[in-house]
């Protein structure tokens, strides 16, 4: 196991310079982050088998001034986000912060609690609710609000609610329209690739100390406990829609297509408290997330924030969200929300303006700097999203990946490009010699580009991998963005030590898979079908599902799987009958198709070999694929 290097002189100088760029003597955020503290959190949270899924005490090293190996602005954000415990926001509104990537809020009703966004996984949520019951009131849960479709806002729900609670009507679960489709599809269809990249994004691989991970900006990292989901009972589809749950009035703002495809904010008129879900947090958020996801609309984001200012700020006395700490006082709330609104508007409009001048996304990302009125506020700094990668995403959202230069229309693969580039540059030894000189000058961005070619041209070149690791490490130390730091340091570790497994959330959990519609499940099988190998197949199958009672006609041909509901074939190649749960078990890895066929859980009439041949062409996805090396 290779230990990290110290900061170079160039990195130490760059990080020291940050102290002169931002108002570090303003401690308002620290005061707000501790305001209303009832009890401080501490200790480890473990799964039933004794595995640590969250460690509240992990971040003690963030005390004091930032070392040379950390950007002082990100270090400060890590200090704020790691403040953990139970807090009173206002009368009848409480939060548990620092128990997961996200924040869970608790709304007091006439006879119980409404839980808002129950964290990533069950175990931290159990611990969070235990704090509320012990130090505020031990009351039942009467409602749950999922503000949006990301896993850190619903995964721990079974810590506080059961299926029977919901089916009996004792608990209502509220979510925005399309919540189920968006939450399930994101976590399964491309869950393998997203989760692998998330292992870089949250620093799961590198560990945490001043030379490793120091937090992801939006929160410190994700818990690694049991992820669950219970479908909603009440759907919000428009702004102004109002519900009363156990005496508590809630007025919703529908905010889709910004931070999440399905999202909503809400206002509590009797508490004068505004929840902004995740569209207003104390950082620049992701228009595009580095783990990979659909690009978000910076235009819609800014418009939703403008609507929130118009709708709620005349009366709101506190604004809180599902990440970070609240903001109190009308003047402060308006300034905060306007800053967030103008942040996304500036990035959007400047990107489009410069694109219309013919600049490419790489050029535009280097040209845009936030004006002091926006970028001078810590709440708008790029701790999670960055100006650079958000600008690139906005360009691609409108114009796609092609920059208009036909030289970039059909490039060689990364490996082939690397081989030719190294050849043109005089060979690996020549590249490394020049790269070492530039490394000593602190020109790390260029060194990373140049040496990456040597690594991809010859992944066994240890000298190149070590220099690349050293270079990415210094870039990580300088990064203000938490996810950039994690990506840089994760890649450095992988270059030095190879691909190593670590604890990561399993988004394709039992509840997620069960919540997939049968159409989504069949689409997922189509994603897994190896098209080239299946190109010559010509099969038709009738699929009869029990529980639920559904039937589909499946057609395998030209390397693709097509399906039609309620329309079977008169003379199919085979007819398959199975309970949906039997197929879910295969998707979850609890059994194989062969196991299920052998046990009779899946029954086949007709050409069984044709169906098993088809199953044999479904790819299994290796989670720990290479990222920093080919």
Tens of pLDDT, residues 178-236: 999 998 887 677 888 888 898 899 988 899 999 999 999 999 999 999 999 999 999 99
Q: How far apart are CA 121 and CA 153, in angstroms?
A: 9
Instruction: Enter the pTM of the model.
Output: 0.93
Residue 312 burial by Cβ neighbours in a 10 Å radius (0-12, 13-18, 19+): buried
Q: What is the CA radius of gyration of the chain?
A: 26
Q: Which residue has the tokens 């759907």?
A: 235
Q: Are 316 and 330 in contact (CB under 8 A)?
A: yes
* H-helix segments, 269-359: 298-312, 330-356
Q: What is the pLDDT of residue 502?
A: 67
Cis bond leading into 356, ω under 30°? no
Sign of the torsion formed by the C-alpha atoms of 343, 349, 351 and 357 = negative
Q: How far apart are CA 235 and CA 169, in angstroms?
A: 15
Enumerate residues 6+ apart whose C-beta is below 8 A from 624.
196, 499, 500, 501
Tens of pLDDT, residues 410-424: 999 999 999 999 999
What's the distance, CA 237 to chain centroid?
24
Task: Determine the 3-state secondary structure of 273 from DSSP.
Answer: strand
So what CATH class is 517-615? alpha beta
Q: Which two tokens stand for residue 303?
A: 């418009």
Q: How far apart are CA 327 and CA 219, in angstroms?
A: 17
Assign 3-state DSSP to the chain and report helix, strand, coil percentages, each to 5: 40, 15, 40
Q: Which two tokens stand for residue 159?
A: 């810590």
Q: Which two tokens stand for residue 214?
A: 């120091």
Q: Distances from the Cα of 63 to the Cαs of 38, 40, 75, 605, in angstroms?
A: 21, 16, 9, 67
CA torsion angle 415 420 422 423 (round to 10): 140
Tens of pLDDT, residues 299-317: 999 999 999 999 999 999 9
Q: How far apart are CA 621 and CA 197, in angstroms?
A: 14
CATH of 34-394, one of 2.170.190.11, 3.60.15.30, 3.10.20.30, 3.90.650.10: 3.60.15.30
Q: Which two tokens stand for residue 268?
A: 């509590």
- Greatest alpha-carbon pair distance for the chain in Å reads 77
Enumerate residues 6+ apart whose C-beta is below 8 A from 400.
none
Query: At 265, which helix (H) or strand (E)?
Result: strand 264-268
Q: Are 336 and 359 in contact (CB under 8 A)?
A: no
Low-confidence ranges of the chain (pLDDT < 70): 187, 502-508
Q: How far apart are CA 207 and CA 619, in angstroms?
A: 32
What's the distance, CA 191 to chain centroid?
11
Q: What is the pLDDT of residue 508?
A: 64
Domain ranges of the chain: 34-394, 517-615
Residue 58 per-residue DSSP state = G
Same fold, 34-394 and 517-615: no
Residue 330 burial by Cβ neighbours in a 10 Å radius (0-12, 13-18, 19+): middle
Q: How far apart are CA 11 and CA 546, in angstroms?
A: 62
Residues 161, 121, 505: CA angle, nearest 5 degrees? 150
Q: How far apart are CA 508 and CA 518, in angstroms?
A: 15
Q: How far apart are CA 383 and CA 381, in angstroms?
A: 6
Q: Which two tokens stand for residue 331?
A: 């003047």
């Amino acid at each position: 196991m290779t230990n990290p290097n110290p900061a170079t002189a160039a990195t130490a100088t760059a990080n020291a310079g940050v102290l002169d760029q931002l108002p570090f003597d303003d401690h308002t955020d620290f005061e707000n982050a501790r305001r209303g503290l009832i009890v401080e959190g501490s200790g480890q949270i473990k799964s039933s088998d004794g595995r640590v899924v969250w460690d509240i005490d992990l971040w003690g090293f963030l005390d004091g001034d930032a070392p040379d190996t950390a950007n002082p602005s990100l270090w400060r954000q890590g200090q704020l986000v790691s403040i953990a415990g139970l807090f009173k926001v206002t009368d009848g509104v409480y939060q548990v912060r620092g128990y997961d990537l996200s924040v869970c809020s608790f709304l007091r009703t006439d006879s119980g609690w409404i839980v808002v966004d129950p964290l990533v996984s069950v175990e931290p949520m159990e611990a969070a609710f235990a704090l509320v019951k012990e130090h505020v009131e031990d009351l039942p849960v009467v409602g749950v609000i999922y503000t949006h479709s990301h896993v850190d806002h619903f995964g721990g729900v079974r810590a506080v609610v059961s299926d029977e609670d919901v089916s009996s009507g004792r608990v209502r679960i509220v979510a925005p329209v399309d919540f189920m489709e968006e939450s399930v599809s994101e976590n399964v269809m491309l869950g393998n690739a997203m989760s692998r990249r998330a292992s870089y994004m949250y620093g799961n691989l590198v560990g945490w100390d001043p030379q490793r991970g120091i937090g992801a900006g939006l929160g410190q990292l994700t818990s690694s406990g049991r992820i669950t989901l219970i479908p909603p009972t009440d759907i919000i589809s428009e702004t102004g829609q109002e519900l009363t749950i156990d005496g508590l009035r809630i007025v919703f703002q529908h905010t889709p297509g910004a931070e999440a495809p399905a999202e909503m904010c809400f206002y509590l008129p009797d508490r004068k408290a505004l929840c902004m879900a995740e569209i207003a947090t104390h950082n620049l958020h992701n228009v595009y997330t580095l783990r990979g996801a659909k690009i978000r609309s910076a235009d819609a984001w800014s418009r939703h924030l403008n609507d929130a200012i118009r709708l709620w700020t005349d009366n709101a006395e506190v604004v809180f969200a599902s990440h970070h700490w609240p903001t109190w006082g009308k003047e402060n709330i308006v300034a905060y929300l306007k800053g967030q609104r103008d942040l996304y508007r500036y990035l959007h409009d400047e990107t489009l303006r410069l694109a219309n001048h013919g600049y490419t996304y790489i050029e535009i990302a280097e040209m845009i700097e936030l004006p002091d009125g926006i970028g001078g506020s810590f709440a708008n700094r790029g701790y999670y999203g960055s100006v650079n990668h958000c600008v690139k995403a906005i360009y691609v959202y409108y114009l796609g990946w092609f920059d208009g230069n036909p030289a970039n229309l059909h490039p060689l693969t990364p490996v082939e490009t690397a081989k030719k580039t190294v050849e043109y540059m005089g060979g690996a030894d020549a590249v490394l010699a020049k790269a070492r000189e530039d490394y000593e000058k602190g020109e790390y961005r260029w060194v990373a580009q140049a040496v990456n070619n040597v690594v991809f041209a010859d992944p066994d070149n240890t000298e190149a991998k070590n220099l690349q690791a050293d270079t990415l490490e210094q870039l990580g130390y300088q990064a203000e963005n938490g996810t950039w730091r994690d990506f840089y340091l994760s890649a450095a570790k992988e270059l030095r030590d190879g691909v190593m497994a670590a604890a990561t959330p399993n988004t394709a959990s039992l509840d997620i898979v069960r919540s997939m519609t049968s159409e989504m499940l069949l689409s997922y099988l189509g994603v897994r079908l190896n098209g080239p190998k299946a190109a010559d197949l010509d099969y038709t199958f009738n699929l009869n599902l029990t529980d639920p009672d559904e039937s589909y006609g499946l057609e395998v041909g030209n390397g693709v799987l097509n399906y039609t509901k309620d329309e079977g074939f008169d003379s199919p190649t085979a007819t398959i009958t199975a309970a949906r749960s039997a197929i879910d078990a295969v998707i979850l890895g609890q059994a194989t198709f062969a196991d299920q066929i052998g046990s009779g859980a899946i029954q086949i009439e007709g050409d069984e070999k044709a169906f098993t041949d088809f199953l044999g062409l479904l790819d299994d996805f290796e989670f720990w694929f290479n990222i920093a090396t080919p």
